[in-house]
Amino acid sequence: MKYMPVLVVNMMEGRTDDQKRSLVENVTNAVCESLKCESHKVKIIINEMPGNGYAIGGKLMQDTDEKYKKR
């Protein structure tokens, strides 16, 4: 059965490679478990957003969250 899921994960930048490894492994397993597809069919694109690349309620994250303030 060809399900071909292609996922895009938009998340704030700053995660370690190990966190990304855990993310893609866990999300791939979750997709395979739910859709009964083979893991090598699952593709994941990670799009990292900087503090001035994501806004909620009209405010940039770098202006509302200390963690993403511009250094």
At 46, which helix (H) or strand (E)?
strand 43-49
Give burial (CB, 10 Å; 0-12/13-18/19+) of 41: middle
- Please tell me whether residue 40 binds its own copies under the rule CB under 8 A: yes
Q: Pattern 17-36, binding to its own copies, x per CB under 8 A?
A: x-xxxxxxxxxxxxx-xxx-
Q: How far is the CB of 59 from its own copies (least distance, A)?
A: 7
- Please tell me whether residue 71 binds its own copies under the rule CB under 8 A: no
Q: How far is the CB of 42 from its own copies (least distance, A)?
A: 7
50 counts as catalytic: no
Q: Give the gyration radius of the chain's Cα atoms.
A: 15
Token pair 């900087």: residue: 50
Q: Are 71 and 35 in contact (CB under 8 A)?
A: no
Applying CB under 8 A, the residues found at the interface with its own copies are 1-12, 15, 17, 19-31, 33-35, 39-49, 52-63, 65, 67, 70
